[in-house]
Amino acid sequence: MARAHGFSLIETLIVLAIGAILALMASAVVIQVPERSVRLQAQAALTSAVSEALTTRLETGQFPTQVAEPMTLDTCGAQCLSLRYWPEQPHRCGYWELTTSGLRSAGEEGCWP
């Protein structure tokens, strides 16, 4: 029996099923990108701000009294400054906090690596 050129229905369905599985996996990754981007932006901003605060303290003997939005600062002791980053849009983590002594916290578990 001679076979016609082309793909059978089964072969086509298998390729479509594999394509659908790959598309689902890719969409799960793409959905996480904005959340992860905000988290990395917050962590980078806090790390930079803490570095600047420590540099200011070394140069002037005092921590800065102001930081740029969307961060706030508070003292956590005579030798410690706490910086908190508030995201502009709602995020599952709520906020990220980093102190000049290196302590990290966030509004939810697992928001720092």
Domain boundaries, the chain: 35-113
Amino acid at 34: P
pLDDT of residue 16: 93
Per-residue pLDDT of the chain (113 residues; tens, 9 = 90+): 556 677 788 989 999 999 999 988 888 777 777 778 888 888 888 899 889 888 988 899 888 888 888 888 888 887 888 999 988 888 888 889 999 888 888 888 888 87
Is the whole model's pTM more than 0.85, yes or no?
Answer: no
Residue 100: how many other CB atoms lie within 10 Å: 21
Residue 60 backbone phi and psi in degrees, to 5 = -110, -15
One-letter amino acid of 7: F
Cα(88)–Cα(104) distance, integer angstroms? 20
